[in-house]
Amino acid sequence: DVKVTQSSRYLVKRTGEKVFLECVQDMDHENMFWYRQDPGLGLRLIYFSYDVKMKEKGDIPEGYSVSREKKERFSLILESASTNQTSMYLCASNTGSGNTIYFGEGSWLTVV
């Protein structure tokens, strides 16, 4: 089974703090993704990466950056957290030729 692991399930951070969300997959997938889920808005793509050190902006990249130094690890960075970044963050991965993407369990971030 594909395993996508998000290290932090629940975080509470203060406005202006730098936040790191870490994601690791164990299936040697080329592609990795960060989505956020908000009520009524569904899942929106923040960034994705198709190879080590490669990244592309998704639909809502403002206020976020990413890092992919190793194939199995994809980090989402909030340089200066704001209250409108309070959300559930979902990491996902798939192969270069895959049709389905596989999600981690999600990280609930609250910014106060």
Partner 1 sequence: DQQVKQNSPSLSVQEGRISILNCDYTNSMFDYFLWYKKYPAEGPTFLISISSIKDKNEDGRFTVFLNKSAKHLSLHIVPSQPGDSAVYFCAARFQGAQKLVFGQGTRLTINP
Residues that bind partner 1 (CB under 8 A): 4, 31, 33, 35, 40-45, 48, 50, 58, 90, 92, 94, 96, 98-106, 108
- Four-CA torsion 14, 6, 50, 88, nearest 10 degrees: -50
Rank residues 75 and 93 by Cβ distance to partner 1 and give the closer one. 93
Of residues 101, 88, 100, 103, the one with CA closest to residue 21: 88
Rank residues 81 and 102 by Cβ distance to partner 1 and give the closer one. 102
Distance from the first to the final alpha carbon of the chain: 37
The whole-angstrom separation of Cα 107 and Cα 23 is 10
Rank residues 91 and 111 by Cβ distance to partner 1 and give the closer one. 91
As measured in angstroms, the least distance from the Cβ of 107 to partner 1 is: 10
As measured in angstroms, the least distance from the Cβ of 88 to partner 1 is: 8
As measured in angstroms, the least distance from the Cβ of 17 to partner 1 is: 23
Q: Name the pairing type of β-strands 4-6 and 19-25.
A: antiparallel
